[in-house]
Structure 1
Amino acid sequence: MRIVFAGTPEAAVPSLDALAASDHELVGVVTRPDAPAGRGRRLTASPVADRAEQLGLPVLKPEHPRDPEFQQALRDLAPECCPVVAYGALLPQSALDIPHHGWVNLHFSVLPSWRGAAPVQHALWAGDEVTGATTFRIVKALDAGPIFGVMTERIRSDDTAGDLLARLAEGGAGLLVATLDGLEDGSIEARPQQAEGVSLAPKITVDDARVDWREPAVAVDRRVRACTPAPGAWTTFEEQRIKLGPVVPVPGAAPVAPGVLAVARNEVLVGTGAGPVRLGEVKAFGKKQMPAADWARGVRLETGAEFR
């Protein structure tokens, strides 16, 4: 089948590679325009654009997929189907109508759970035990189209959003190829999503990533892992922002007041609303990321200091 792939971040690259290695005819790639990145804010191509160029594929970078020039360029490529992974822009009906088999999205949840931009983060934050990936036909309503296929993945107790997304990206790539195979030979049909069990997964903001030490340890742990690596969990110490790596709840430890630090030679505990957590790595403003105990020695931290 003749296809054009749409995607932008690193999580979409495994699917691009899988499609390039498949029996389908990959004739082009659609991705978001180059964007400022890094300290110098230099315009940088997306990971998908970089990989597509390495593969020698034509790359389209429309400001918006409603642009007539983009839609004509897509028609010229004549795709029968457009597989999508985390493209990052809303597709108008005029674009959705171009390929005969429509646009088939790989979404990193078991739909209808966690429709939206941040399904992996919300699954972790909610304490789900199992998540997965779903392929479905894109319609105008958010992640509401009929489903082709599903895979599941157990969530590990120490998973960060980055860890879990990497596994789903690899496993989901095979699901996406299998879905296109089934569309081509007619062996699969889309089925409507269930009306029950819909939940939403809006983008996680920097404000969302601020740790609330009044929450119990299990909730603090989930928030930090859900926000790792992006946007990055944080708190403040002496009015300076401190970024936090994953923490570990410490059941049975002596109680510590919420936000108060208990400093030992090789560890730093922080009190929460129910039980302390052990800090992992921290990154103070202008400093490199380091183990919490090293940071504590560097700033001469003493028990009783507080995170806010």
Structure 2
Amino acid sequence: MRITILGSAAGGGFPQWNCNCRLCDGVRLGRIRAQRRTQSSIFIAPEGGVDGVLFNASPDILEQIRSQPALQPARAIRDTAIAAVVLMDGQIDHATGLFMLRERGSPLPLWCTDPVEEDLRQGNPILRVLGHYCGVDRHRIAIDGGTFEIPGVAGLGFRAMPLSSKAAPYSPHREQSVPGDNIGMLITDRRTGRSAFYAPGLGEITPPVFDAMAGADAVLVDGTFWTDDEMIRLGLSQKTARDIGHLAQSGPGGMIEWLDRLPARTRRLLIHINNTNPILDEDSDERAVLRQHRIDVCEDGMLIQI
């Protein structure tokens, strides 16, 4: 299968429009060596296939499609390689881009859990608004461990699992999450048996989640913050990374420690990187630590073949 990183940043992108931290200011002025990034989203297609699945529809989706010609195969006067959209949660930076896909001539095939559908019909009624345009052909993602297929994307199997993280701020269960607010996804190429695990929002690695990671050939996991108190130290928030549903990379029990436990063959990648995370600076000590641990940082436009 082919995984295209359409966007690799957390909400707000990099540089964030209103942020003048060392990293955002540095990339604008050319003072640091860093790549600009749009908000996180990936596209997965079977090897040799054209159509695939868009995981999360970020507010930057139009820019991302324009930068990736493969997503516009031009087989008809109106065309797209996006056979379906899968939402990992109902956050603004993962769902608002659905508005930009409203010109479809048929209902948009959308896969999400029941709690996410509820949030996007009530708290942030994106799905109701789309009913005035193309409409939505919603499919339920179950979190019972079963594998499902997506029509139009032959050869790929999908298995979702609930994650410990946070629901969107407009969700009625923001402070008391329910299973399905956030999911991870194991995607398997049934022809080769190879697989990838995707979890851009991940607050805790439970035994089932680690088992899925350890069985995958590549993992693309939460890279939001370097330290748990990152936003507090910068004076940007009073909440820790864990408070808002993210597991920091460094420190005891951090993402680096968990990734070190994976089999040597596993490719390790961080995605959904906040504009405050020092790993964005390619010459930083923190980026050097990641290299020592054989952990890659996703960039917009990166192609990963599994």
- Computing the radius of gyration over CA atoms, which structure comes out larger, 1 or 2? 1
Same fold (TM over 0.5): no
TM-score range, shorter chain: under 0.3
